Each structure stands twice: as structure tokens, then as C-alpha cells.
Amino acid sequence: STMAREIVSSMTEGIVSSMTGEIVNDVRRLRTFVSKNVVLRNTLLNFICLRVLKLNGDSIKELPSSIGLLIHLRLLSVASFSIKALPKSITKLYILQTLRIEGCPYVREALEDLKQLINLRHIYIPSGFNEKLKDIGQLTCLQTLRCFIVGQDAGHRIEELGCLNQLRGKLDLWNLEHRKGNYENDEEVLEGLEPHRCLKSLTIDGFGEKKFPSWMLTSLDAWDGILQFGNLIEIEFRNCKKCEVLPTLGLLPHLRVLTIEGMDGVRHIRTEFYSNYNNGSDGTMLFPALRKLNLGSMPNLVEWMDVMEPATTTGLMVFTCLEELTIEGCSQLRSAPCHFSSLKKLDISDVRSTTFENIIGKLTTLTSIESTMAREIVSSMTEGIVSSMTGEIVNKIKAIQESLVRVEDLANKYGFAKLFLAESVDTNNKIIPNRETNSFLNHSEDIGQLTCLQTLRCFIVGQDAGHRIEELGCLNQLRGKLDLWNLEHVRDKEEARRANLGEKAKICMLRFHWAIQRKGNYENDEEVLEGLEPHRCLKSLTIDGFGGKKFPSWMLTSLDAWDGILQFGNLIEIEFRNCKKCEVLPTLGLLPHLRVLTIEGMDGVRHIGTEFYSNYNNGSDGTMLFPALRKLNLGSMPNLVEWMDVMEPATTTGLMVFTCLEELTIEGCSQLRSAPCHFSSLKKLDISDVRSTTFENIIGKLTTLTSIEVCNISELACLPEKLLQNNASLMSLMISGWADLESIVSHEDVWAFCTSLRSLKIERCWKLQIQGVPSHLQRLEICGCVILPTGLQSCTSLTLLTIQFCDKLKSIPNLGQLHSLTQLKIRYCDNLISIPDLRGLHSLIELQIWYCPKLTSLPEGLESLNRLKTLVIGEFCKELDDFPSLVSIEHLHASLQHLDLKGWPKLKSIPDNVQVLTALKSLYISDFDGMETLPEWLTKLSSLQTLRIFSCSKLKESYAIGGKERSKIAHIPNIMIWI
């Protein structure tokens, strides 16, 4: 008999034990054995060639020690409720790659010594086993380790993870505290646990310090820093009891789920949670992808501020995609935002009625409410909604007496879709076609009847009649932008074709979205996208979450792409995002007008070959490839190994490629080993997390750079000298998170080649020592560094100097020669005890000195800063009973326009020196917890236009509208008080 090499059976003990010698000889070559309730005893000796052994069933009470003789075993899986011990001989399976011990709750003796299993790649064991694993750091091939429990003994410390660079998927780190009763090292520990910037999900649980680490950048300059983790989809903060301030998260472009629970120390959620004043410009999208937000068990949370001052919110958009909001256990919450334009589900309990009313005040899209506040729900329904309800609906809602209110699928049950579109409904309750209507139509059925519709920014595909993609079939007047979501609900190519996208010539921007975290298969994605072929006049195309291995024929990725791809010769912008399974990119190099190309989250792409540019037959001399491309982004491609040159060197004569490319971004491509070097017009390079050889190859021939941002290049102690030497026009240099960097370059005169450099930013380069800085530098930002560069005094052209998150910094050198300095920002320096005399800074317009908890006084020389317009000071030593004297700023009465005073709990009043600042236009006061009343002299500040009071708890209602002290500030046009 020639037996198969795989047996999957429910073999009984009798069958195994009764095998004859002839059968045993036949099964010696058996490779896979999967069985249930088979007691093997010494029968394993007959299967010496086994590669895979899976034993399941409660009849198995022990494993024979002879299992250690299966020297070819690659996978061992054991699941038995009855088994109580595992043989130590398992540690002799030297080529074992997968070990799975699950469903064995009574195993008492855990496997401790696995360090000899050097080929082990995947470990699936109960958490109790993890605690005893020792010297796991020697398993350098390990890819799966779901949990690591940190211990204090050798072999159990966190350093064991140091060499496990193949780990992937999910990792839980437990017992990070290493403490007994105190939390003093938590902040330092979390600072050192900075993850890779490609991280998609982050949970911080039980953290015991007051602020998060610098790599989360909670400061006002968060715009650049927070995007280092721009791939984050989910964040959870749980039981961080002492933490007082949340980090800036509103700029994360892909964040979908945010959970904040058990944060007892957080009293205020302020504007820095969204963004910051400087970067909150018109058109900014804050929390652009957030779908679900949970706030829970925050007993001291008093205020949740709006995104920004009302006067500056023009064009700002926030929470535009938020669909689920949960607020529980926030009994002190007195204020909250009301801008939730897409909210479908609200779960709210244990808040004040005024807070509840504010949150629901502008809601129009709810389909479900869960609350312990039935009366508030009924009484707070807006007049417009109630007046539109039929008597039957109103009676149903008002009749609810239970403590839990559920309003589900209002649009279908009660026709709310028509009620919200009253202007579009005739006397027969039929929707009259309009050319433009609001976004509520995205959730309405039978939209296909609106045949005159021209603007429909978004369509969410459903599976029920009236919500399918065929509703778009007759909407041939659509124009502009169209986003198609939930395309996984389209069944096949024929159904996709019913959308009739090929006839919609006026749509210029089209975005296809499949759910990223969907359940089920991806088998039909390819034929669905095949059927969604758009009109050839399309200018912008996005494909997001596509689950096929290859793109459709209408994109023509074959070698005969020349004729076909020009069907879409008008394309200006293309984005491929999160197409995880796709293995080959289409041919795009022949598109004559393509200016922006983004390729992100393409896990399946290992090679970018010559077909990406063109093909061998048509790549003749003189061909221009990517002739118009200005901006190219490659990101989150963890398996990309090579990015080939356009063609073999012998045949590239006359070829030109990337001739117009000005901006190149490469992030999260840690396996990339080779890349092109032909970027003849490149001005801006943003590169991170690549190998040193790849980095050196990319920059090898660059001569036109004006800006470069470099982060975390492994195995380099300094920048390649030719980078600075060959790019004489370099104006901006940013270096971030580079653990091995010791110097800028090895050359003695590091800045000799940088005659054009104007901006230098250094972040979290702990080993870096900079000897001198260019005298012509205009902007210098130091964040999270151990020591400051030498020679700051010689930077006489400097206009901006920022020093922040330098925890070990105790003093700052003399800055008196910086006569051109207009902005000086010193913040989040925990050990800073002195700041030099500032009297020589005659050009200073903005000064910020705050969150330096060891400072006890202001620097000397403030009276000489005659041009100072903005002053932000405070959050100094909390042992001080009074705010430091502001006598020195009395001379600034004619220039100072904005003053921001940041206090601490002991303070009972703001300094009286403020009353002489007659030119003051805005005054911000925060965290003066002991202050019970505002000073009488506030009425004398006749120029004051804006007053903001945050977290001054004893002021209470006295200064609210109608309060007895309101008259003191009645002359100020713009007042905001968040107690």
C-alpha cells in the first residue's frame, strides 16, 4: 500500500495499538497526524517522520515522553481538558516551529526552558505559562507571542524582547510596573517603550504617571509629531488614574476607535486634545476617521471643551464620521460639544441634564439611544423634530416610563428620513427629486429615484432593497466627488455594473471603500471592482480596503499596458490604501497627467518591478515615465523587499523617469533592501524606518533637496556626508527618533556644506551631541534630547527657538546675542531650574515658558522686551503660594496683546501687575483653583476683547450669564468660562 502522507481521523486507541508490523512500516513516512481522543502511549515511535501532530480530546490525560524523539516535528498542538502535565522532552524538538497548548486548564507544571527551540516561530500557550517562560529572547525567529509577563529575575526581564524583531500581530505586555506601591518610574518606562510608527492598535492600561511620554507629543506642536503614528486605527487608555492631560489625537488620519476609561485624574478635555491653536487652520479635519468614541468612569471630568474658540472655527470639521458615542460614569461633567453630524448610536448615563441637552441639541442622524435618562430624552427633543412627528410617534415616545430608552432604526420605523427632508416631500409623502440635498440621504432608501441628483458626496452600500449599489444606476447627472462605502455588500460583477459608473462622465473624483475589518471572504472583490469601471474622464481615484490579489483588467497591469492605461489618461491623483492581499501594482508610469500617487497598507506587495513603470517592449529610447508626477507616498508596506529600477541598466539609454518628482515619502517599509536613486528634481524627502543601505542608495544622487525629514534609520551613527555635501540648497532638516545617531556627520565642520540651511528640528535622538549650529539658522526646535547643541549664542539669525520635553535639562545657556529671535518656547522641561537673562532679545514677539515644575521665578530682563505681544507663562513649582511677580512686564503695557496665565491648585489670585497692561486684547486664565473672585480692576482693561477662564473651580456660577459677579466682565465682547 502507498499510504497518503496525511491522515485526519478520529482513531481509537484500539486501532492504533493493533497496527500490524506491515502497516507500521507503511506509516513511517506519515507527515501529518490529526486525531481526537487517541491515547498514543509509545505508538508515536512508529511515526518518526511526522511534521505535524495535533492531539485533541479529553481522553488524553498525558503525553508520552517519547514525543521528544519526533525530531522532524514542525507543529505540535495539544488541547485536552484532562491533561495535567507536559513532558520535558518537548524541549528537545529542536526544529519545532509552532507550539500550541490550549484548552489545558489543569496543567500545573509549565514549560520553562524553551530556549533550545531556536526555530520556534509561533507560541500559543495560556497566560500562566507565559509567566514562567525563561530566556525567550534567544528565540530570534519568533513571530507570534501574544503575551509577555515581565519579571524581575534574569531571563524574565523586558530586555528578552530586544532581539525578537520578527514579532508580528498582537502583543500584550503585563507587569510593567516593577514597583511596590509607587508610580515614580512609570513615565520613564513608557518613554522607553516607544513602538514602531506602523502600529495600528495601542492600549495603555494602569499607567501611573501624570502625563504621557514625549513620543505621544501632547504639546501644541503636535502636528508633526503625532503623525509618526498615523497608522493607528484603535487607541485605548484604561485605568491611568493619575494622568491629568490627554495627548493630542485629533490629527490621526485613520483612528476609528478611541476608548478613554478610568482616567480619574483628568478634569478637562481641552483644545489640545483635538489639535493646537497654530495648526487648527481653516479646512482642518479633526478626528477625520473616528467611528466610535467611549468615555467611561471619569468621575472628576468637569469639562469637555469644544474644538476651538468660536471665532476661529471657520472651516474646521470635527467628528465628521463619528457614529457611536458612549458616555458613562462622568457625573461631574458640566459641558460637552454638540457637533456630531453623523452620530447614529448614543449610549449615555450618569451625566447632568444640562450636559445631556447640550450633546443632543443638534443631533439629526440618531437611529439608537440607550440611556438612564428617559425624561431628559423626551424633554430635550428639539422643536423641529417634535413638530415634524405624527401624533402617534410623539405618544409612543412620551409613553416610555422605563429607565432605559431605546430608539432603533427610526428612519425605517417612523419615516424619519422623509421628516428630515420636509422641503422635499409632497402631500402624498413622496420624495420630490432635488439637485442637492443633505447628507441624510446617504441613509435613505430608494435614492435611485432622484434622477436629477447632481451632488451626492457619499453612498453607503447596503444589502437590502433600496440600499443596493444599483440605486446609482440612473443617477447619471452626478458630478464632482463620490465616495462608495461598504462595497463588500456588492455580490458580483453584474451587480456592480448596475451602478453604471462608466456613464457618469461628470464625476471627477471617485473613491471605492471596502471595510477593513470585515468578516468573511474576499473572493468576490476582484469581480466587483471589475464591474465598477468608471468613466475615462476620471481625474482622481482611490481604492481602499480592496481584498483581491490583483487589480481589474480595466487598470491593465499587464505588459501590454500602453494602449489600455491611457483610457484613464486624465487621472491626476491615485490612492491605493489597505489593499492587504494585492501582490502586484498596476502599470502607472505612462499616465501623462498623474501628479500625486499614494500607496499605503499594501501588505501583500513584496516587489515593485519594472511593470510598475511601463513594459519592456514599449520602454523605448526617449520614453518619459511618470512624466508629471510631483508627489509619491509609500507607506505601511511591511513586506516590501525591493523597489526595482525602471529597467535593466543595459537598456535604459534615453529613458527618463520621475523627472518632475518633488516630494517623496517612504514610511513603514522596514524590509526594503533596494530602491531607485533617479530623482533628479526632488525637493522634499520624508523617510523613516528603512535600512541604512536603502537610505544611502536613495540619497546617493540627490542634488536638489530643500527639505528632508529622517526618522529611525537603523545602524547609522551619523548622516551620510554626501547628503549635506551634494544638496547645497537644503533649507530644512528634521531628524527624529534615531536611537543610534551620535553626530550629524563625521566631518569636523559639520555645517560647512549647509550654507542654505534655515530650519533644524531634532526629536528624541538620545545619543546625539551637536557641536555648534550654523550661524545663519533661523528656526531651531529641540524636543526630547539629553543635551542642547553647543554654540547657540552664535545663531544670531535665529527667529524661532523651541526647547521642550528635555527632561534632564537643568539650565539653558546665555541667549543674549540672539537679537533676531521673535519666538522663544520653553515647555515640558521637568528639571529645568533656571533660564538666563533675556534682556538682549529685543525682537522677541512671543514668549512661552510653561510646565517647568521646578522653576520658581521668571527670567530677568522681561522689561526690555519692548516688542513682546504674546506671553504664555505658568505651571511652575506647585509649592509656591503665589504666582511669581510680574513687575518686570509692567513696562510692556503698550505692546503686550495676549497673556496666558497657567496656575496650579494653591493659587488664589492672578497678579495685580496685569491691570497696567492697557493694550491687552485677550486674557487666558487657567488652573487657579483657589481663586474665588476676579479682581475689581478687570473693568479697567478697556481694550480686552477676549476672556477665557479654564478650571478655576471656586468661581462656580458667579460669572456665568446672570451671575452676581458678571458685571465685572460685562464690557468684554467674547467670554468663555469653563469651570
Look up residue 414 and give its three cell numbers: 417612523
Going by C-alpha positions, the residue among 876, 841, 870, 839 that lies closest to residue 855 is 876
- Kind of pairing, strands 285-286 and 317-318? parallel
Q: What is the DSSP code string of 626-652?
A: STT--EEEEE--TT--EE--SS-GGG-
Round to whole Å and give the CA distance between 307 and 279. 12
Arch. (CATH architecture) of 6-174: Alpha-Beta Horseshoe (3.80)
Structure confidence by residue, pLDDT tens digits, 258-293: 999 999 999 999 888 888 644 444 457 899 899 999
Round to whole Å and give the CA distance between 970 and 947. 11
Confidence of residue 128 (pLDDT cuts 50, 70, 90): low
CB atoms near residue 307 (< 10 Å): 23
pLDDT greater than 70 at residue 297: yes
3-class secondary-structure state, position 793: helix
Q: Are 506 and 477 in contact (CB under 8 A)?
A: yes
Of 847 and 956, which is predicted with more confidence? 847
Confidence of residue 801 (pLDDT cuts 50, 70, 90): very high
pLDDT greater than 60 at residue 616: no
Least confident span in 70-74, 117-121, 927-931, 960-964? 960-964
pLDDT greater than 70 at residue 229: yes
Look up residue 945 and give its three cell numbers: 476683547
Round to whole Å and give the CA distance between 699 and 398. 69
The domains of the chain are located at 6-174, 197-414
The pLDDT mean for the chain works out to 81
pLDDT of 857 reads 92
Structure confidence by residue, pLDDT tens digits, 671-723: 999 999 889 999 999 999 898 899 999 998 999 999 999 998 877 888 888 88
CB atoms near residue 826 (< 10 Å): 23
- Looking at this protein, which amino acid is placed at residue 593? H
Of 588 and 517, which is predicted with more confidence? 588
CB atoms near residue 197 (< 10 Å): 22
CB atoms near residue 722 (< 10 Å): 16
Strand-pairing partners, residue 800, are: 779, 823
Of 305 and 218, which is predicted with more confidence? 305
Round to whole Å and give the CA distance between 776 and 795. 6
Confidence of residue 16 (pLDDT cuts 50, 70, 90): very low
Most confident range (mean pLDDT) of 557-561, 788-792, 824-828 is 824-828
Q: What is the DSSP code string of 588-600?
A: -TT-TT--EEEEE
pLDDT of 702 reads 94
pLDDT greater than 90 at residue 793: no
pLDDT of 687 reads 95
- Could you tell me what percentage of the chain is helix, strand and coil, using 3-state DSSP and rounding each to the nearest 5? 20, 20, 60
**Does domain 197-414 bear CATH number 3.80.10?**
yes
Strand-pairing partners, residue 657, are: 625
Of 804 and 423, which is predicted with more confidence? 804
Round to whole Å and give the CA distance between 716 and 599. 27
pLDDT average, residue stretch 882-898 = 92
Most confident range (mean pLDDT) of 4-8, 566-570, 900-904, 969-973 is 900-904
Look up residue 528 and give its three cell numbers: 466587483
Round to whole Å and give the CA distance between 135 and 145. 14
Phi, psi angle pair for 7, to nearest 5°? -120, 120
pLDDT of 39 reads 66
pLDDT of 704 reads 95
Round to whole Å and give the CA distance between 367 and 860. 60
Of 755 and 651, which is predicted with more confidence? 755
pLDDT average, residue stretch 944-948 = 93
Structure confidence by residue, pLDDT tens digits, 209-222: 888 888 876 443 43
Least confident span in 49-58, 158-167, 639-648, 748-757? 748-757
Percentage of the chain beyond pLDDT 90 is 42
Round to whole Å and give the CA distance between 212 and 974. 33
Of 281 and 747, which is predicted with more confidence? 747
Q: Return the sign of the alpha-carbon dihedral for residues 17, 20, 21, 27.
A: negative
Structure confidence by residue, pLDDT tens digits, 314-350: 567 899 899 999 999 998 998 899 889 899 999 998 8
pLDDT greater than 50 at residue 420: no
The separation between CA 250 and the C-alpha centre of its own chain, rounded to angstroms, equals 9
pLDDT greater than 60 at residue 428: no
Structure confidence by residue, pLDDT tens digits, 406-417: 333 333 333 333
Look up residue 873 and give its three cell numbers: 507663562
Chain length of the chain: 979
Phi, psi angle pair for 779, to nearest 5°? -130, 130
Percentage of the chain beyond pLDDT 70 is 79
Round to whole Å and give the CA distance between 265 and 242. 5
- Looking at this protein, which amino acid is placed at residue 955? L
Is there a shared CATH topology between the 6-174 domain and the 197-414 domain?
yes
Structure confidence by residue, pLDDT tens digits, 734-745: 999 887 888 887
Confidence of residue 764 (pLDDT cuts 50, 70, 90): confident
